[in-house]
Amino acid sequence: MAVTKKNQKHRDLAQILSAASCALIAGTSPAVNAAESWDVDSAFLLYSESDGRVSAAEPVISATKNYDEETKLNFKLVADTLTGASPNGATPGDHVQTFTRPSGNGSYDVAASEQPLDDTFRDTRIALSTNWSAPINRDWAYGVGGYLSSEHDYQSVGVNSSLSRYLNQKNATLTLGLNLSNDTITPEGGVPTSLVQMPLSSTDSEFSQRSDSESKSLVDAVFGVTQVINRRTIMQFNYALSTSSGYLTDPYKIISVIDDNAGANFGGNFQSNGRDLYLYEKRPDSRLKQSLYWQTKYQLDNNDILDLSYRYMFDDWGISSHTIDAKYRFRFDKQYLEPQLRWYTQSKADFYHRYLNASNYTDVDFASADYRLGDLDTYTIGLKYGYKFADETEFYTRFSLYHQESSGDKGYGKLASQDLYPSMDAAMFIAGYKF
């Protein structure tokens, strides 16, 4: 739950550099040129997944005080509410499955052949961030900032900074960014013991052994080069390094143990202590991610803008991914229309298993059935519309459709007839106003 949202909302320094290049190609707005002015961007986002899974509502407001063209102070406030059901990691089965709620207070049943979803997924998050950027002299600039986010079972606090060097009359910019953060998770019912059987209730001795909270620290660094190729083209390259350490496991995820012994239950749920065996997942306590990013924006003769980007990421968990994103902005006087296509593909983590086998589940050091760590392909198609009024204020809206497909081991025996990798569709709508 909280881990899911943290991953979705993780600050990406590369995006900061991308935003900078966008401003360059689009031209500086009159509001930025005005001294002692404020720019405000307010938006509202709605997100909904298929099959009654996660829905989210998120208002966002960002206010920037412009002291001059290069000196700015920004505040951003985000409040999101999430409801719905989230996959708990277990496989569908040939009978009704019963799962203990994370708090240990009560349980929920999942019908035969249905995807096991925890329908208690509800949360509200408040996040506040601020950033100050200013020139040091005509060739150097810097930025510093901080952020704080809080929800009932997850808190995150961090600081960031950046240093930029302008070259060749500011046609080239070198930027180094650094982000440090510390996150604390206090899951409902405490922190479960990894790779042990899910207990029946909070009266089980496993609950009494749990700690209340765990934490992790993250360090993100990015080095970027932005180059103005000519009056119509700007290009950007980034190299990003991210390291995290501490508690990186999702305390709400479990993994099924399947019976691989010959017999009538071959491929069914393995029984232990008179019930289906589900283990709490366990991930390594450190992770090192690296990524390369390229983006080019090209302004055509008719002032339309083509925006292409590619990102390659790899880490020491065995995951590698490719992301291609393409946008084309049609510009009509005071209006614009921007279709988008995005494709993402990912290979699985070394310790990802859709399930574990009864004959060797005690031999694993790490295991997770979280689909976000498996073989994954996603496709996004979107359309953005914007209208600029005479006073330079702007209304914009975007509608996107998202499709996700997973793949992997198809199982055996009874398990082979189950849908282990269901696809997922989602829709996202954003409406905003800049003034």
Distance CA 70, CA 395 (A): 25
Max CA pair span of the chain = 79
pLDDT at 35: 58
pLDDT at 227: 94
pLDDT at 170: 86
* DSSP of 326-355: EEEEEEETTEEEEEEEEEEEEPPPTTB-S-
Q: Is 249 helix (H, G, I), strand (E, B) or coil?
A: coil
- DSSP collapsed to 3 states, 58-104: EEEEEEEEECCCCCEEEEEEEEEEEECEEECCCCCCCCCEEEECCCC
Distance CA 297, CA 309 (A): 9
pLDDT at 333: 87
Which two tokens mark 286? 């450190």
Distance CA 390, CA 261 (A): 73
Distance CA 388, CA 146 (A): 32
Could you tell me how far CA 139 lies from the centroid of its own chain?
A: 35
Distance CA 309, CA 290 (A): 17
Distance CA 346, CA 366 (A): 20
Encode pLDDT of 265-282 as tens digits.
999 999 999 999 999 999
Q: Identify whether the C-beta of residue 37 lies closer than 8 Å to the C-beta of residue 283.
A: no
Q: Show the beta-strand stretches assigned E in 84-232.
A: 86-87, 97-100, 107-110, 117-118, 123-135, 140-151, 154-167, 172-185, 214-230
Q: Is 278 helix (H, G, I), strand (E, B) or coil?
A: strand
Q: What is the pLDDT along the chain (435 residues), one digit of tens a residue?
A: 443 444 444 444 444 444 444 444 444 444 444 457 899 999 999 999 988 888 999 999 999 999 988 899 999 999 999 888 889 999 999 999 999 999 898 999 999 999 999 887 778 999 999 999 999 999 999 999 999 999 989 999 999 999 999 998 889 999 999 999 999 999 999 999 999 999 998 888 888 889 999 999 999 999 999 999 998 999 999 999 999 999 999 999 999 999 999 999 999 999 999 999 999 999 999 999 999 999 999 999 999 999 999 999 999 999 999 999 999 999 998 999 999 999 999 999 999 999 999 999 999 999 999 999 999 999 999 999 999 998 889 999 999 999 999 999 999 999 999 999 999 999 999 999 999
Q: Is 33 helix (H, G, I), strand (E, B) or coil?
A: helix
pLDDT at 366: 97
CA distances from 267 to 99, 116, 260 (A): 19, 17, 6
Q: Identify whether the C-beta of residue 258 lies closer than 8 Å to the C-beta of residue 278.
A: no
Distance CA 21, CA 327 (A): 15
Q: Identify whether the C-beta of residue 126 lies closer than 8 Å to the C-beta of residue 78.
A: yes
Distance CA 297, CA 301 (A): 13
Encode pLDDT of 103-159 as tens digits.
898 999 999 999 999 887 778 999 999 999 999 999 999 999 999 999 989 999 999
Q: Is 21 helix (H, G, I), strand (E, B) or coil?
A: helix
Which two tokens mark 229? 């190729």
* 210 class by beta-carbon count within 10 Å (0-12 exposed, 13-18 middle, 19+ buried): middle
Q: Is 369 helix (H, G, I), strand (E, B) or coil?
A: coil
Residues ≥6 apart with Cβ < 8 Å to 259? 265, 266, 267, 268, 269, 270, 271, 358, 413
Which two tokens mark 243? 């390291």
